[in-house]
Amino acid sequence: MKVKRSLISIALIALLLVGSAGLAFAQKAATIIPEVVSGTGMVASAHPLSAKVGLDILKAGGNAVDAAVATAFANGVVEPNANGLGGEGYVVIYLKGENKVTSIDYRSRASFNTTTAKTWPAAGHLGVAVPGTVAGLAMALEKYGTMSLAQVIEPAAQLAEEGFVITETLAGQISDNFKRAMPNKYLMSLIAPDGLPLEAGDIYKNPDLAKSLRLIAKEGIDAFYKGDIAKAIAADMKANGGLIDENDLAQYKAIEREPASGTYRGYDIVSAPAPVGGFLLIESLNMIENYDIRSFGFDSAKKLHLFAEVLARAFDDYYDVLGDPDFVNVPMKALTSKGYADAKAASIKLDSMTSVYEHVNPNSEHWSTTHMSVVDKDGNLVALTQTLSSFYGAAVAVPGTGIILNNEMGNFNGKKGTSAYLPGKRMNTTIAPTLIMKDGQAFATLGTPGAMRIVPTLAQLITNLLDFDMGLQQAIEAPRMYCTNLQGPGKTTIELEGTLFSAKTLADLTTMGYKVKSYDKRDLYFGGVQGIIIKDGMLHGGADPRRDGAVFGY
């Protein structure tokens, strides 16, 4: 009965919103989730309740930045496993009136305090980096929004205080992370208040988080970085072997950066720059552009093999070149140039596998994180991705605050050279909130979680849209692949949503020397895309059935 309550609650929200949306209506298509179309404004998020918050902000006169910030704060409440005040992220913004694109880096960073640690734990206080969410969202709002911090935070505070029905997805993450959470009594009080993990259909409340949110709304970001919340975080760190102190929090700053940019098939691609993965996406698309993949066929071993070869070459730069641009020189213009990609692509053979691009074990990579996309009535676009790193981050919550902390320090593990750990440094990840423009006009806002699958998923999504002429929802639901480690025939594993590809494709890949790992359905391992495209003057929204995604427009 609890599961049914969860599903019914989400369904009712969707029906009420679509029913009240005026111009919004569900497009008839052969997809699991109907593509939503509207004419004024739209929000796509990984949870229907946070999408509703964003829609309400748009209807109240807020712009895309106001709505995205409100959605992000709310999503930190309803997807506490994936993001929140103790996490970080990146946002890419297009302002139509100014014809301007920009991005805000609110990545977490290492403490300034030194340590002899050689590796960083997946759980526990030592793995926590200085959170950036509050600073980044507040900067976006102050510079490009129209509403107050109190206005955009209050809906999130109400959700935390009043509670919400737990979905099957969240219940699964609570169960999967129950053992990790057990050493932290305060986190256990949030996800297992009666000693057993909360289940689908139960009500999740976090009144302490509501108090923290309202304190930030009242006092601004200083409440988090210099005030009572900062003191609580620093005290908890000191008591449990963490590195972060009050100085680390007081010195944290979000940074506005020029986005990474490139082109693909005549479209402009704008994505998040170093130290994250937007350049990897652009570099991959630049290589793919050398081939007529439409003639290969969507469901073909040849196309999948090409993607594996391309992605392996792009990720070579992730490990060898990318780093915090405040510490190292990252040649973004060169990395995203056509000539550089053409030179890399020149060694690809469509009938045989390269054996020189070997990276980390892909199965060691978590698939947390979350994404939201917004378009407003004036044509402004926002793509925002934020995370705790692993689901439930470091499995640490700060007593009295309701705040769950990230485990971003683990992203330094195994990194050398430009991406190696240093005190005060931001670590690399592959998040890539992305905008697409055409002839100076906005076309799409897209993004996904999925760790090392983020760039592969977005490359597939964009080619689905631009090479295979799919609608957005169809492009999101299309089967996905993942392979960035090429270790030679008989040693290289390509991961597929196997039952969604033809038997011939799987057989052809095996003949080429790939070891095929098949997932028997659409799996959240491959991400959870949320996106909006603008076509013929209408907004088309897509949500991923691999998560609890929802799109609402009016």
Catalytic residues, by residue number, are 369
Report the SS3 class of residue 384: strand
Could you give the C-alpha distances from 523 to 158, 177, 453, 544, in angstroms and in order?
32, 18, 12, 10
Closest listed residue to residue 273, CA positions, set 311, 323, 307, 314 = 323
State how far the Cα of 62 lies from the Cα of 146, in Å rounded to an integer. 6
State how far the Cα of 301 lies from the Cα of 509, in Å rounded to an integer. 5
**Helices of type H across 346-484:** 454-466, 472-477
Q: The dihedral of CA 298, 302, 303, 304: what is its sign?
A: positive
> Residue 542: phi, psi to the nearest 5?
-130, 140
Q: What is the DSSP string of 99-142?
A: TEEEEEEE--B--SS----SS--SSSGGGPPBP-HHHHHHHHHH
Closest listed residue to residue 212, CA positions, set 317, 86, 116 = 86
What pairs with residue 105 in β-bridges? 90, 255
Report the SS3 class of residue 81: coil
Omega before residue 275 within 30° of 0, cis: yes
Closest listed residue to residue 168, CA positions, set 408, 39, 392, 5 = 5
Structure tokens at 488: 């030679």
